[in-house]
Amino acid sequence: MKPIDKATANNWMLDNPLHSSAEKSSCHPNLKMFLAALSFAYFAKALSGSYMKSTITQLERRFDIPSYLIGIIDGSFEIGNLLVIAFVSYFGAKMHRPKIIALGCVLMSFGTFLIAMPHFLIGSYKIHTAVRPSLNSSSVLTPCSPGPPESSMTGCERESSVSMWIYVFLGNVLRGIGETPVQPLGISYIDDYARSENAAFYIGCVQTISVVGPVFGYLLGSLCAKIYVDVGNVDMETVTITPGDARWVGAWWLGYIITGVVTLMSAVPFWFLPKSLPVPLEKHDSSSSPEQARFIKDSPRMQHKFRQEEPADLHQMAKDFIPTFKSLLGNPVYIVYLCVTIIQFNSLIGMVTYKPKYIEQHYGLSASKANFLMGIINIPAVALGMFSGGLLMKNCKMGIMGAAKFAFGTSLLGYFLSLFFFAMGCENAKVAGVTVSYTGVESLSYQERSLFSECNLGCSCSRREWDPVCGRNGITYVSPCLAGCTTTSGSGKNTVFENCRCVAVPDALPVNLTASLGQCPRGDSCEHIFPYFLALSVLSSFIISLGGTPGFMLLIRCIKPELKSLALGIHTLATRTLAGIPAPIYFGAIIDSTCLKWGYKTCGGRGACRIYNTSAYRIVYLGLTLGLRTASFFLCILGFAVLKKHIKMEEKSTLPKGNAEQETLKKDENNSRQCEQFILALNCNSDRETRL
């Protein structure tokens, strides 16, 4: 290769006004447009992804499925990624990256629309209740009555013929396929055409926008959770449950239509962006990229002019894939980094997926309020942390080791703060026959036979139904029948059940033996704990997310530039295959093991859980989350040793490389002195380790 001196570089810049203007300005105009378009695409995919998380309890109740099955549906997004990520990352990097991203956004929108389809294919949501819908109703309700318990098999044949949640599963797979090119191709495009000192800041901005998306996703989830699922098709006066009821289902389908439209709009700008942009001069100077070196060696002006129009040689790309892949896996820093992030992503994905549900079950909040708090308080803290981390890395000019130490330190501090969550627990809700006996003594039971007592033995109650009422004694009963209620007054949401024998307090006069609709509210102690839980959650989320951008830049800069797209793709593939798919499933299965009372489908068979053992839920949920992070810290110690060795090897390899280049330059009589200074300047660059 012919050496390049400063004069040649300056002549190249004069012959390429686009490049020259890009160097004078901080960012090329088309790069600015790409940044804006990629930020919008990140926002759209984060919006739909977070909305999916916010509808977990709604989907459980609507389709009567357990948490582990919801985990499979949630993990189907990663399955879609798994199908195409390696090919998109490798082949897509050599094609028209913006247009491939646009195509992905279109597929994402179609998948989102498919998720909403079951709402328009199945009938109205039915709730089995002992409440009279109106005063004009001719039905006379006597919850406690002798004879066999009533059972309704209406609609059984239709429900058993097809599982509508399959549409949600397939739609999420399609979303995963469409999302595949956005991150690896988008981030590598920025890192290829942005100046080195600005790349971390730009990527930090894009990552920050991706965290802003969940703010609106959870807020949209909060809004839709307040609206009844069949709004517009039913008389709301006949709906006797409230958003705080375990049977309430919000208008989950409405949010998917909205997010699908937004995602479709995000595809538009990418169709008008070029395949390539002018490369900053400093990246031509780097000897680590043979592709860029060839770009300077051959007629730079003509190469830049026609570079974006070169046809892709698919046969050659396929032939080079295996050697390239082996080269990537031969990097020990990359392998250790991959293992650490897989474990931490298991912890993160499992925690985020079920956090709104944890807040609902543990602190007695409705799905709408839990989503609102996640969107308005918790997620902004994460966004601020991501942005601050990128800004700190830019201003402090962190190298690879500095970024690794910073990411590890923030993660460790957040870990210690999270340990305090174990102390912020609430007692189980008082439910007769489930968490307390009918005499009010605390007694956990997973057996349905404990629902029966002397006070309701003559009532022929069903042990499968869940129609809770709150007695005047502060205890919740699974149904009016199991509360021993014999008469009712009022109708709809104002129904009052009277003469409830099980509500009687021992050694007291049998007065006020009434019960009202819904579960009893939790004690004041739980309400006092929740603000502290929320504050600690915000603080720990901010501190952990501070290390997000430096940790991500560590991934980019520990590999060769020509391997960036493939490395990002394999990283995404591995984390989603080994974390994104299994984590929601085994987190959901473990959470299911803490269920105290299951609901049942119309045709029989177990449905969604109605009430959990909150103490056991807290232990398994937090224990699994923090246990995985503990394991990742041990791997981090090994990672630091490997990284330190890697940096020393890089420093040693620069010296002989510099001497060899100087010997070559001395043979060129016209350029000897200038080129010698040029190479020495490169080898003495203090920021070299940040551009590995």
Beta-strand relationship, 595-600 and 515-517? unpaired
How many residues make up the chain in this entry? 692
pLDDT > 60? residue 310: no
Kindly report, residue by residue over 186-214, the tens digit of the pLDDT.
877 777 777 766 777 777 778 777 777 88
Supply the pLDDT for residue 510.
Answer: 56
Supply the pLDDT for residue 658.
Answer: 47
Question: What would the mean pLDDT of 508-515 be, rounded to a whole number?
Answer: 66
Residue type, 483: A
Kindly report, residue by residue over 556-579, the tens digit of the pLDDT.
777 777 777 677 778 877 887 888
Beta-strand relationship, 476-477 and 469-471? antiparallel
Kindly report, residue by residue over 458-499, the tens digit of the pLDDT.
777 878 888 888 888 888 888 888 888 888 887 777 788 888
Residue type, 473: N
CB 190 within 8 A of CB 358: no
Cβ–Cβ contacts within 10 Å for residue 394, how many?
A: 18
Q: Identify the weakest region by mean pLDDT among 78-92, 397-411, 619-633.
A: 78-92
DSSP string, 515-526: EEESPPPPPHHH
492: alpha, beta or left, given left = phi > 0 and alpha = psi -120 to 50?
left
Kindly report, residue by residue over 220-250, the tens digit of the pLDDT.
999 999 899 888 788 777 777 888 788 888 8
- Supply the mean pLDDT for the chain: 76
Question: What would the mean pLDDT of 137-162 be, rounded to a whole number?
Answer: 53
Supply the pLDDT for residue 346.
Answer: 93
pLDDT > 70? residue 319: no
b/e map 234-248, b = 16+ CB within 10 Å: eeeeebbbebbbbbb
CB 246 within 8 A of CB 611: yes
Supply the pLDDT for residue 15.
Answer: 47
Name the token pair of 596: 């105290």
Supply the pLDDT for residue 196.
Answer: 66
Partners of residue 611 on adjacent β-strands: 597
Supply the pLDDT for residue 51.
Answer: 93
Task: Report the range out of 78-82, 208-212, 318-322 with the highest average pLDDT.
Answer: 78-82
Q: Identify the weakest region by mean pLDDT among 310-314, 543-547, 637-641.
A: 310-314
b/e map 65-75, b = 16+ CB within 10 Å: bbbbbbbbbbb
Supply the pLDDT for residue 223.
Answer: 92
Partners of residue 250 on adjacent β-strands: 228
Supply the pLDDT for residue 642.
Answer: 80
pLDDT > 60? residue 139: no
Question: What would the mean pLDDT of 136-143 be, rounded to a whole number?
Answer: 54
Q: Which residue has the higher pLDDT, 1 or 579?
A: 579
Kindly report, residue by residue over 262-305, the tens digit of the pLDDT.
999 998 988 888 777 766 655 555 444 443 333 333 333 333 33
Question: What would the mean pLDDT of 576-605 be, rounded to a whole number?
Answer: 85
CB 497 within 8 A of CB 470: no
Instruction: Report the alpha-carbon distance of residue 680 to residue 665 in Å, rounded.
Output: 12
Question: What would the mean pLDDT of 73-95 be, rounded to a whole number?
Answer: 79
CB 150 within 8 A of CB 462: yes
DSSP string, 105-157: HHHHHHHHHHHHTHHHHS-------S--S-TT------SS-SSSPP---TTHH
The pLDDT-based confidence of 23 (bands split at 50, 70, 90) is very low
Give CA 397 to chain center in angstroms: 30
Percent of the chain with pLDDT over 90: 14
Residue 25 DSSP class: S
Partners of residue 598 on adjacent β-strands: 609
- Residue among 247, 292, 273, 390 at smallest CA distance from 37: 273
Specify the pTM: 0.74
What does each C-alpha distance from 318 to 163, 275, 313, 570, 657 come to in angstroms? 40, 21, 9, 16, 31
- Residue among 556, 571, 563 at smallest CA distance from 691: 556
Supply the pLDDT for residue 170.
Answer: 93
CB 93 within 8 A of CB 191: no
Question: What would the mean pLDDT of 628-643 be, rounded to a whole number?
Answer: 87
Task: Report the range out of 69-73, 246-250, 404-408 with the highest average pLDDT.
Answer: 69-73
Q: Identify the weakest region by mean pLDDT among 279-288, 529-538, 644-653.
A: 279-288
Q: At what angle do helices 614-666 and 672-683 cross, to 10 degrees?
A: 160
Supply the pLDDT for residue 156.
Answer: 53
Supply the pLDDT for residue 620.
Answer: 93
Q: Which residue has the higher pLDDT, 531 or 290?
A: 531
- Convert 284-350 into a string of H (helix), E (strand) and C (coil): HHCCCCHHHHHHHHCCHHHHHHHHHHCCCCHHHHHHHHHHHHHHHHCCHHHHHHHHHHHHHHHHHHH
- Residue among 66, 59, 47 at smallest CA distance from 585: 66
Instruction: Report the alpha-carbon distance of residue 385 to residue 378 in Å, rounded.
Output: 11
Instruction: Report the alpha-carbon distance of residue 85 to residue 72 in Å, rounded.
Output: 19
The structure tokens 């299911």 sit at 592
Percent of the chain with pLDDT over 70: 75
